[in-house]
Amino acid sequence: DADVTQTPRNRITKTGKRIMLECSQTKGHDRMYWYRQDPGLGLRLIYYSFDVKDINKGEISDGYSVSRQAQAKFSLSLESAIPNQTALYFCATSDYYSSGGPDTQYFGPGTRLTVL
Amino acid sequence: DAKTTQPNSMESNEEEPVHLPCNHSTISGTDYIHWYRQLPSQGPEYVIHGLTSNVNNRMASLAIAEDRKSSTLILHRATLRDAAVYYCILRDGSYNTDKLIFGTGTRLQVFP
């Protein structure tokens, strides 16, 4: 079973609809991240969370919100979807070594979202 | 956040070595140099990282300039499976600000 799972894998929705993308991980990591990727571009950070009580905005948080329901679950919501939010969305998890220094980030398979 | 500069694309033949360059002239003392790659239709995957010294692992080698303003990812023998977009990323190693900031990466094509 995959360590980082995302649901749904594909979603088509209409402008103005509310949509939630979910991410679950079995790695036991405290840190979770949401990114979006537009065609031909690198990933851009939307939100990140270092633990259940910690939520931080990334580069492009406008139009998005998140919820960290548990250590293993981190959801991304689009309250009122618009066409320019059509993109590939990735969730990632990471840890931080007690000896100092960040662990690698492990990415999910992605959710392809189309807003019509 | 510190930025990196990479060529948009590179080509290689199978079983030849590949050297992927990255410039990061504004690197700070706490920045780690990370490389991730993204295979077609997949999420990024970790390749290697380093702070000051050269690093080797089963996937690749990382050569870091003495002044840390540039680095090179080395794939010793490219395979078709290595065709991907390679991202060079400066990662702030501080506990409270740890995050990855991706650039546009280098698209590596590998020919049989």
A31 at the B interface (CB within 8 A)? yes
What does DSSP say about strands B84-92 and A65-70: parallel, antiparallel, or unpaired? unpaired
Residue in this structure with the two tokens 């990334």, named with its chain if needed? A58
pLDDT at residue A98 greater than cutoff 70 = no
Closest chain B C-alpha to A8 CA, distance in angstroms = 15
Closest Cβ–Cβ partner in B44, B95, B99 for A48: B99
Task: Give me the percent of chain A exceeding a pLDDT of 70.
Answer: 93
Mean pLDDT of B25-52: 91
Do A92 and B43 count as a contact with CB atoms less than 8 A apart? yes
Among A35-49, A62-76, B27-41, top mean pLDDT goes to: A62-76
| pLDDT value at residue B1 | 58
Order across the sheet with A65-70: list the strands. Answer: A4-7, A19-25, A73-78, A65-70
Q: Which residues of B touch A108 (CB under 8 A)?
A: 43
Tokens of A60: 């492009």
Lowest mean pLDDT among A65-79, A92-106, B31-45: A92-106
| pLDDT value at residue A34 | 97
| pLDDT value at residue A9 | 96
- Residue pLDDT, tens place only, A8-43: 999 999 999 999 999 999 999 999 999 999 987 889
Mean pLDDT of B29-36: 89
